[in-house]
Structure 1
Amino acid sequence: MRYLEVTVPEGKRGAVLGLLEDEGIDYVVSDETSGRGYTAVVRFPVPTQAVEPTLDRLDRAGIGDEASVVVIDAETVVSERFDTLRDQYNRGGQTGARTSRQVLRTKADELTPPFPIYAIMLLISAVVATAGLLADSPAVVIGAMVIAPLLGPALAANVGIVTGDERLKWTGFSYQLLGVATVVGASIGIAMLARFAGLEPAGVDIVVVAELEERVSPNLFSLAVALGAGIAGILSLTRGFSEAIVGVMIAAALIPPSAAVGITVAWGMSGAATGAAALVVVNLLSINLAALATLWVGGYRPQGLFEVSPTRRPTYTYAAIFGVGLLVLAAPLAGITLLDFHTTELESAAENEVDAVLAESAYDHLEREDVAVELDGDYPIQSVDRVVVTVSGQEPGTEAGLADRLYAEIEPHSDESLLVEVQYVVSETEGDADGERTTIRTVEGGET
């Protein structure tokens, strides 16, 4: 429930009161004597769902920018006319508390902090996220997401589009772009310091870190977080869900990939940096497209099939820009997804073939330890480089012809040429002073 207070401009008192009477709204009128061009102040309670249509009718009656409107949460209203009005708006089972466009715009604006505070919080988040990625610590990365104030800008831009608020729209877009740039720049600086200070050794393949690898070679499943965050963000704004939790979702889609861009740039890995940057852009587009689509489905759009609305064309335009951009950038992600599927299938087929070969009597003295498919590390779109088969036995040395035999069985399962490498693990058993047995392993390698 909401309680509205409307200042009525001179000459509009009859129109306002007549409209409220027609709607069956229980109201109170007070004379306004400040001499500022108002004749009265009208106060009345309405169901939450009735705020937007009531304000729209007042606007059409000429009570627009000249009036001052205050919307307040109401705990309880005891009135037969209000109960009738609530039943009218709840008819058909629509009992959800849909936020009005006017209140929605205010809430989106409030969630966008002043830029100095926004920049400082993002700098802190960038430092924490970079440290978490370099240390391969999921807990630290999550901490960086919690403190990143990205919810407001992501929602403000799209609320500004559908409500025609140019200031809110450009504030949202500029905050998003400057925020990502801030995180990337700060991450480059922190990663360079870590590299040259010896906290992380230079010259190593830094992307082997699990928290980093999934963000420099993203697949289509990466879109799920961003799309879900955009939808949940708008629902939190329009239906009163927790904004804090949704803010973490949006930060999860933007902060770690942006930090990954900075780290890979600091390590001079252009391919990995391109992959992480593509994920950042895809997630930005996904969040905005999902938010705009959710607003549209939720009814925050131009009304009337043939109505010419100033917000209709911008809404269509931005939806097309987000959608086309997402489709273009999703193509490489689809290639990475297919590679993931192919790698999984190849590894499964290789395990079956290795087991079949080692089951032959000639190899009774060998056992399969592991089968792994290794990629070439050419980010962001990699390809299969080799299949590494690890076998164990009691005798040292390689098994003549085994590598060739395994290559002949595994190679048909791949669409491209690959290398099959066989590693031999020799197990020796020795007794210790307590009579227990300890396994000592040495490794030899062979490949074809």
Structure 2
Amino acid sequence: MLHMRVICPSERTEEVLGALEAEPGATHIVVFRGAAVEPRGDMVQADVARECANEVLRALKALDVVEEGGVTMVPVETVLSAAARKAEHDAPGDAADSIVWEELLSHTREESTLNRVFVAFLTIACLLAAIGVVTDSPITIVGAMVVGPEFGPLAALAVALVRRDRKLRRRSILALVVAFPIAMGVTLLATFVVKMFGWMDVESLETLHQVDFVYKVGPISFVVALLAGAAGMLALLSEKSAALVGVFISVTTVPAAGFAVVAAANGEWRIAGLSSLQLAVNMLGIVVACALVLWVRTRADQEFAAALKGISSLIDD
């Protein structure tokens, strides 16, 4: 369930209560008159089944509560209540299959923001990938995969495409096109420093056998990216964060960027080109799979809602 807190003007409180009481998936409704200081008004709290969250938010937006007050939602881990069990039972659908769009948009918007932390993580991941290439260490390559934060803006781009959100689309693209060149540029400088001190004794990257999978792009690369993207989006929708670790170590986005940099510094432009192609294939596959999962889930929700409406009409007749 989700715990919802609503700040609203006093003249809107009864309408807010009516919207919550009309929703079968809402329970534990509490009102505190005059409790809100900024913005001034009343505070209404309720526990809402995930399946009903979108309907409740839609009703609150229609009452201009978002503009005149505010709505906060947080997941509730444990609820011991017969009323809560009844609300979840009466709510249509299943919690695991429910997409709370505002929650997803908020999460992807945060993960796709271009800031110093995002650039720092991506740079560290590229440096780790370069070290993995130089040392022919698949373990270090896997470490770079886990550290890389690039799945956030890729998932955000898919959400933006499905929701036709131009602002989120610009934000996610900006994060990718700015952060990757910076990270790769820093990695290139570090590679030249390593070569200058003689710490890189690899005469040709063609001799590497443990990490050569990074630049060997092919149809399987795209299939893996599709599967990883689908799993990643499902993990976001169902809040299965543990599954995201498997997604991170499935695709060679950051390792491909690091491999391309090392290959360029070593003058091996064929491998640099193949690594860049691997990077593009993986990013495209992830975005396509994420968008497809979202589209299918949206269509399924619409068809389920239509079916419920049809059943209700039949019963009424």
Largest Rg, 1 or 2: 1
CA deviations on 1:285-334 (whole Å, 9 max, x unpaired) are 11111111112222289969xxxxxxxxxxxxxxxxxxxxxxxxxxxxxx
Q: How far off is 1:133 after superposition?
A: 0.9
Structure 1 distance, partners of 2:127, 2:153, is 21
Q: How far off is 1:69 after superposition?
A: 0.6
Q: How far off is 1:209 after superposition?
A: 1.0
1:40 corresponds to which residue?
Answer: 42
Q: How far off is 1:101 after superposition?
A: 0.9
1:66–1:246 CA distance, 2 compared to 1 (3 A): farther
Equivalent position amino acid for 1:292 in 2: A
Which segment drifts farther, 210-219 or 222-231?
210-219
Residue 229 of structure 2 contacts residue 247 of structure 2 at CA under 8 Å; is this kept in 1?
A: no
CA deviations on 1:120-165 (whole Å, 9 max, x unpaired) are 2222222221111122111111122222222322223333444555
Residue ranges of structure 2 left out of the alignment (5+ in a row): 304-317
Structure 2 distance, partners of 1:275, 1:37, is 56
Structure 2 distance, partners of 1:173, 1:165, is 12
Q: How far off is 1:14 after superposition?
A: 3.4
Residue 180 of structure 1 contacts residue 254 of structure 1 at CA under 8 Å; is this kept in 2?
A: no
Q: How far off is 1:36 after superposition?
A: 5.6
Structure 2 distance, partners of 1:113, 1:247, is 20
1:118 corresponds to which residue?
Answer: 118
Q: How far off is 1:221 after superposition?
A: 0.6
Tell me the secondary structure at the aligned position of residue 86 of structure 2. helix
Tell me the secondary structure at the aligned position of residue 268 of structure 1. coil
Task: Say whether 1:76 aligns with 2:66.
Answer: no
1:15 corresponds to which residue?
Answer: 15
Q: How far off is 1:90 after superposition?
A: 5.1
Q: How far off is 1:62 after superposition?
A: 4.0
Residue 157 of structure 1 contacts residue 173 of structure 1 at CA under 8 Å; is this kept in 2?
A: yes
Q: How far off is 1:258 after superposition?
A: 0.6
Structure 2 distance, partners of 1:294, 1:249, is 20
Residue 215 of structure 1 contacts residue 275 of structure 1 at CA under 8 Å; is this kept in 2?
A: no
Q: How far off is 1:284 after superposition?
A: 1.3
Q: How far off is 1:183 after superposition?
A: 3.6
Structure 1 distance, partners of 2:140, 2:104, is 33
1:445 corresponds to which residue?
Answer: none
1:403 corresponds to which residue?
Answer: none
Tell me the secondary structure at the aligned position of residue 61 of structure 2. helix
1:291 corresponds to which residue?
Answer: 290
Equivalent position amino acid for 2:13 in 1: R
Tell me the secondary structure at the aligned position of residue 263 of structure 1. helix
1:247-396 equivalences in 2 (<5 Å): 248-249=248-249, 252-299=251-298
Task: Say whether 1:231 aligns with 2:230.
Answer: yes
CA deviations on 1:61-119 (whole Å, 9 max, x unpaired) are 44343331111233215243x4333112255xx35263411111222244457621222
2:30 corresponds to which residue?
Answer: 28
Equivalent position amino acid for 1:205 in 2: S
Q: How far off is 1:44 after superposition?
A: 1.2
Structure 1 distance, partners of 2:275, 2:44, is 55
Q: Of residues 67, 70, 73 in structure 1, which corresponds to 2:69?
A: 67
1:186 corresponds to which residue?
Answer: 186
Structure 2 distance, partners of 1:247, 1:113, is 20
1:333 corresponds to which residue?
Answer: none
1:66–1:210 CA distance, 2 compared to 1 (3 A): farther
1:146–1:273 CA distance, 2 compared to 1 (3 A): same
Structure 2 distance, partners of 1:60, 1:30, is 22
Equivalent position amino acid for 1:84 in 2: K
Residue 229 of structure 1 contacts residue 249 of structure 1 at CA under 8 Å; is this kept in 2?
A: no
Tell me the secondary structure at the aligned position of residue 245 of structure 1. helix
Task: Say whether 1:131 aligns with 2:134.
Answer: no
1:211–1:167 CA distance, 2 compared to 1 (3 A): farther
Compare the two structures and name the one with the higher helix fraction.
2
Residue 10 of structure 1 contacts residue 37 of structure 1 at CA under 8 Å; is this kept in 2?
A: no
Which segment drifts farther, 106-115 or 216-225?
106-115
Q: How large is the RMSD of aligned CA atoms in angstroms?
A: 2.9
2:108 corresponds to which residue?
Answer: 108
Equivalent position amino acid for 2:81 in 1: V
Equivalent position amino acid for 1:237 in 2: L
Tell me the secondary structure at the aligned position of residue 210 of structure 1. coil
Tell me the secondary structure at the aligned position of residue 12 of structure 1. helix
Tell me the secondary structure at the aligned position of residue 234 of structure 1. helix
Structure 2 distance, partners of 1:55, 1:45, is 13
Q: How far off is 1:38 after superposition?
A: 4.9
Residue 4 of structure 1 contacts residue 70 of structure 1 at CA under 8 Å; is this kept in 2?
A: yes
Structure 2 distance, partners of 1:149, 1:247, is 12
Q: How many residues align?
A: 299
Structure 2 distance, partners of 1:276, 1:267, is 14
Structure 1 distance, partners of 2:301, 2:156, is 18
Equivalent position amino acid for 1:65 in 2: E
Tell me the secondary structure at the aligned position of residue 32 of structure 1. strand
Structure 2 distance, partners of 1:28, 1:259, is 54
Residue 108 of structure 1 contacts residue 237 of structure 1 at CA under 8 Å; is this kept in 2?
A: no
Structure 1 distance, partners of 2:53, 2:283, is 32
1:113–1:19 CA distance, 2 compared to 1 (3 A): closer
Structure 2 distance, partners of 1:135, 1:151, is 26
Residue ranges of structure 1 left out of the alignment (5+ in a row): 305-448
1:157 corresponds to which residue?
Answer: 157
Structure 1 distance, partners of 2:134, 2:152, is 28
